Amino acid sequence: MSRAFVKEGDGPTSGSVTDRFYQGVLGLSDAARNLVARRQQEAWLQASDQIEDGRQVARDALGDDSYREIFEAAAERSGDPPRSPTWWATGDAAIALAARRRLGPEQFAVLVGPLGVALPWLKEAASQ
């Protein structure tokens, strides 16, 4: 795990939601990445219209520039190739966290769901 996001003695539940998010992303195992990738692919096949709607609401809430910066910064930290399922899952979860107070529960859930299988606390992060 990168020390850039963790203070000495911090556990996995300390820090802000954003800190916890990046700690979790940086600490994903290969098995977790594979699970996230499968879940992202399944979600896209089953609910691509809902994912696109959630992305649009987040884009409207954050503005185009902030949306792009947040998505790309998180997706790059996933360590996976651009446009891979884990890259998408990480970017989607990051924008959902950033716009969480302006997204509906369903929109939030569809955007964080695939990464939430590896970071279960994400599913409750809308209230944090």
CA distance 91 to 17: 15
Is 7 among the domain residues?
A: no
Domain that holds residue 123: 18-127
Q: How many domains does the chain have?
A: 1
CB burial of 87-121 (b: ≥16 within 10 Å; e: otherwise) equals bbbbbbbbbbbbbbeebeeebbbbbbbbbbbbbee
pLDDT in tens, 65-83: 999 999 999 999 888 999 9
pLDDT in tens, 29-49: 999 999 999 999 999 999 999
Is 66 among the domain residues?
A: yes
Is 97 among the domain residues?
A: yes
Is 13 among the domain residues?
A: no
If we measure between CA atoms, which residue out of 52, 57, 122, 128 comes closest to residue 94? Answer: 122
The model carries a pTM of: 0.84
Is 4 among the domain residues?
A: no
Is 76 among the domain residues?
A: yes
